Structure 1
Amino acid sequence: MGKIRTWGAIALAAVCVACTSQPTDDQTPEPSAAQPGPAGAVPDGLEDYYGQPVEWRGCEDFATSPEEETAVGADGLECAHLRVPLDYDDPEGEEIRLGVLRRPAEDPGTRIGSLLVNPGGPGAGGVPTAAALAPEIADTELGRRFDLVGFDPRGLGTSEPALQCWTTEERDAYRVDQVADASPEAVARNDADQRAYAEACEQRNGAEFLASLGTTTVARDLDVLRSALGDEGLTYLGYSYGTRLGSTYAALFPDNVRALVLDGALDPDADPVEQRVDQQAGFQLAFEAFADWCAEQSPCVLGSDPDQAVEVFRELVDPLADQPAAAGERLLSYPDAITGTIQSLYAQDFWPVLNQGLMQLSVGDGSTLLLLADVYNGRSPTDGSYSTMMDGFTAVRCVDDPPITDDEVLTELDRRAREAAPFLDDGGEPGPLRDACAFWPVPPNEAPPAPDAERLPTTLVVSVTGDPATPYEAGVELADALGGRLLTYEGNQHGVVLQGSDCVDEIATDYLVDLDAPAEDVTC
């Protein structure tokens, strides 16, 4: 529930951008190898990786679910695998491969370079996100001047090997039986579940591979990709967790940055406890905005008085803790009802679906809420398979940050989270619910150094006033830390660049194309 999602991954899965994307060209590229790199600085011992040829071909085999096939396989898109070392301290050792997709610039004569995009998560894939964004930039300045490039971080999506901790059957079973309270018995069972998950991750992937999945290593992969594509400097658009990847890159490779747009920011210096509480408060504000909107609809499952919305919502979902609701051939559990609700609060476009799902639940049908929870968990509605997203979300966090294991700290965190988000409070006593990171088989990596703002070009940080997942103030803090400009968007959604705001997109485009950052902080 603390997972941070991004627009690219949500839109593709929830509203099937893949089903409506239009081809950007009428020709599928023939396989070809290009070697525009190495470009820019090349670390000693990594010359072979930084200068490797990129063998582009069609993307038909790069869809990891039936829902992605139309968008990822669209004409005009090209795909490849990029070689990187498993361990950068042993570049002569084992290699792994990253899946990469690009939409070539429409006007090669005025092409600036590559615009690399990361959708966040951590755990979301850049290949389907770039495919979903490709129609959005068609016939625009960005589409004419940049190759749009998305990559699946190591272990995720089309990258090889692919991370898997639980099978489909194991994750389905966990979602039905997942702990729904913080009683002592539930805490003990939760610890057992989380320990079993961590052990499965180690057994099925190996400790060395798990240790390589952190953001610092992915930032180094990003620099290999930049060079192999022939770009002297990185031009980057990162959403949500992708802002953490971007700021980590800026700390490690400040002289290799051309332009950074960081949308839906994570504050890299935020205390993890405060960050979780702030996120819960953000979702509460989003729920209240949903309740205000719903009160004007007919019908509204929460009623016409927004002040009563939390109470009505709890009356709908609380019984699921004892008796899951029918959802076709499956069951909607209490945790999945909460997850489906959270999923819908990421963007106002999903509010009608949430209203519909809660209306159905009021008559005993959990189908729509379960579908929303499936989107959040990366479960295909077509074949029931899971993407690598949830395993990646856990594995990256566990390597990036020290776990919270102290019972008193966890209990206080639970208490404060309930206070911050009453609509998520089941009324029980707070307790020390640990996640899998408390039992992770490899220690967290050392944190990267803080970015040196004096060595960076001007960056652009975008923050939404009503962002439910990454609070607005985090964007303020990140812009300050990077010495960049802050673009404020007044709205209720998670991320905004290339999502329909002409004001935001004009500012972002001027910055990415001409490096023309606003003279001061601006608001759309």
Structure 2
Amino acid sequence: MKKHAVLAVSALLAAGCAAAPTPAAGAQLTPTVSTTTLNALVACPELPSLPTARCGRITVPRDREHPAEGTIQVSFALVPHTDTSRPGLGTIVPNPGGPGTSTIDLSGGLFAEALTPLLDRRDLLLIDPRGVGRSSALSCPALDGPTRVFEPLAEQRRLIGECGAHLGDRVSDYATTAVADDIDAVRATLGLDRLDLLGVSYGTYLMPTYAQRFPEHVRTVSLAGAYAVNEDPTSAVGPAAFRRAIRLVCERTKRCDGDRALDDLAAVLERLRAEPGSLDVVFRGTTHRVALDEWQLTSAAGRVFSNKPDTDATLALVDAVAAARNGDLDPVRDVVRRNLLAQAEIYSYGPLALSDAGSWATSCHDYPRSFDYADPIAERTGDYEAALAELDDADFAPFSARAWSTRADYDTGACLNWPDDPTARSPFEAGADLPDVPVLVLSGDLDANTPSESGRAAAAQFPRATFREIAGAGHTPASTPEGADAIVRFVRDAHR
């Protein structure tokens, strides 16, 4: 299952941040890329937002345990620090989330803008993960374009499985461990010592993986919208955070009653479960007939708090379910329609910006599941349904446990049709040693995707971590001035 609404990165760090204090006297230097190495890279004229960037590419094995099976290209862009009169203080390596999201072209300019107060003395190293962007972008015919967005749950699962079959012997090549190893290969190529890691959403899964594998090369770790690597994907922490977020928005705006809104939503979802309807969605001239059911409304409602907070969208949902409870479903249709159109636009970007195939190749390899790929699909499905049946609807209110656990792009059964992959597993076991380095974890109090409880679990993975909850922030707490400034100050002031 995916762990974040795709393109939470579009809001990533967009608020920028204030200047922070200069480093303490005697702060330890972490050398940046040498002038000789920098000159060996090439200009990046296709990155107008990063005019000083220098680009490079390395070739790495598809599978490091079986190097004869072929190679993958991993591309990077290095933005050198601006103050050349003093020694550099290190290199920041960010990841915007996904999985399957480009770092260089889609979010490089946003990172550079937001981290400006640090970039006088620090280089910014942007690396496209394997399978997306400039790093051997991956695609599958079954997942090309936005069509999947308009399909029902069973068909989406079939298409994801068809993509896995299309990958063939490449199906295990996109594990997070492989992405982390690629980052270290770039680090070694550039002659860097220690890195300041910054992960957003899925990046909060990737960066702990890197830290666990290469602790000697980590200076700091900043995680925004975080979750623990071995977190249970069927957890009810999301619905609990959703309930809290609705109540907080109503309280802060004084424009709704949170408890009534939740009661209205529960009643409408129950109605749609018993009596589904339909709606038409026109995207780029093509009309798609979509079921208006519990699953679609749960998917749309869940996304309200899965990105940067949108008060208007929250209030539109509240008003829509109030109208639906009184017999008018048209506003609910509008909520679902807007959600589907937004998702279709995102999936139209293509693998140079967003690889749907790469996203599922990583997700189906890494994330926990309640079934075994070695079993036939019928047996997998039986095991999965048994696991769903053990969940208590009361814990997932106002949603049913099934609807929340299977909502679009967060479906815990998305990989039921994935081909057998004996290598599929978490990057490391629960309780594995992670380095004793400075770690900052930020969560938004309006995030129902990776809520504060998940952020605290992410912080608990490390011996030395600071957790902060950012009021008014959603799944992108670093996009607020407070969150972005916290990251700048943390990286600048940390000592190791």
Q: TM-score, normalised by structure 2?
A: 0.75
Which residue of the other structure, out of 87, 106, 122, is the alignment partner of 2:99?
A: 122
Which residue of the other structure, out of 506, 515, 519, is the alignment partner of 2:494?
A: 515
Q: Take 1:135 and 1:323, find their aligned partners in 2: how far apart are those partners?
A: 43
- The answer to whether structure 1 residue 324 and structure 2 residue 279 are counterparts is yes
**Counterpart for residue 416 of structure 1:** 391
Q: Take 1:472 and 1:505, find their aligned partners in 2: how far apart are those partners?
A: 17
Q: 1:427 to 1:57 in 2, by over 3 A?
A: closer
- Percent identity for Structure 1 against Structure 2: 20
Question: For the Cα contact (< 8 Å) 2:88–2:121, is it kept in 1?
Answer: yes
**Counterpart for residue 103 of structure 1:** 79
**Counterpart for residue 300 of structure 1:** none
Q: Take 2:4 and 2:206, find their aligned partners in 1: how far apart are those partners?
A: 14
**Counterpart for residue 58 of structure 1:** 44
Q: Take 1:197 and 1:349, find their aligned partners in 2: how far apart are those partners?
A: 29
- The answer to whether structure 1 residue 394 and structure 2 residue 377 are counterparts is no
**Counterpart for residue 477 of structure 1:** 457
Q: Which residues in structure 2 correspond to 1:252-401 (within 5 Å)?
A: 252-273=213-234, 276-293=235-252, 296-297=254-255, 304-313=256-265, 321-327=276-282, 329=285, 330-331=287-288, 333-334=291-292, 335-347=295-307, 349-356=309-316, 363=330, 366=333, 369-376=336-343, 379=346, 388-401=354-367
Q: What is the Cα deviation at residue 160 of structure 1?
A: 0.8
**Counterpart for residue 194 of structure 1:** 157
**Counterpart for residue 166 of structure 1:** 142
Which residue of the other structure, out of 465, 479, 494, is the alignment partner of 1:499?
A: 479
Q: Take 1:280 and 1:444, find their aligned partners in 2: how far apart are those partners?
A: 32
**Aligned AA (1:5):** H
**Aligned AA (1:200):** C
Q: Take 2:64 and 2:214, find their aligned partners in 1: how far apart are those partners?
A: 15
Q: 1:130 to 1:371 in 2, by over 3 A?
A: farther
Q: 1:54 to 1:394 in 2, by over 3 A?
A: farther
Q: What is the Cα deviation at residue 256 of structure 1?
A: 1.6
Q: TM-score, normalised by structure 1?
A: 0.71
Secondary structure at 2:161 match in 1: helix
Question: For the Cα contact (< 8 Å) 1:379–1:387, is it kept in 2?
Answer: no
Structure 2 runs not aligned, ≥5 long:
17-31, 321-327, 372-379
Q: What is the Cα deviation at residue 474 of structure 1?
A: 3.1
Secondary structure at 1:249 match in 2: helix
Q: 1:284 to 1:232 in 2, by over 3 A?
A: same
Post-superposition CA distance 1:265-291 (Å, at most 9, x none) = 222343444xx3323333333334344
Q: 1:54 to 1:6 in 2, by over 3 A?
A: farther
Range 305-314 or range 226-235, more displaced: 305-314
Q: 1:428 to 1:79 in 2, by over 3 A?
A: closer
**Aligned AA (2:279):** P
CA-atom RMSD in angstroms: 4.1
Q: What is the Cα deviation at residue 117 of structure 1?
A: 0.4
Range 482-491 or range 281-290, more displaced: 281-290
The structure showing larger relative contact order (alpha-carbon pairs under 8 Å, at least 6 residues apart) is 2
Q: Take 2:455 and 2:310, find their aligned partners in 1: how far apart are those partners?
A: 24
Q: Take 2:451 and 2:355, find their aligned partners in 1: how far apart are those partners?
A: 22
Secondary structure at 2:221 match in 1: strand
Count of aligned pairs between the two proteins:
448
Q: 1:425 to 1:393 in 2, by over 3 A?
A: same
Question: For the Cα contact (< 8 Å) 2:228–2:457, is it kept in 1?
Answer: yes
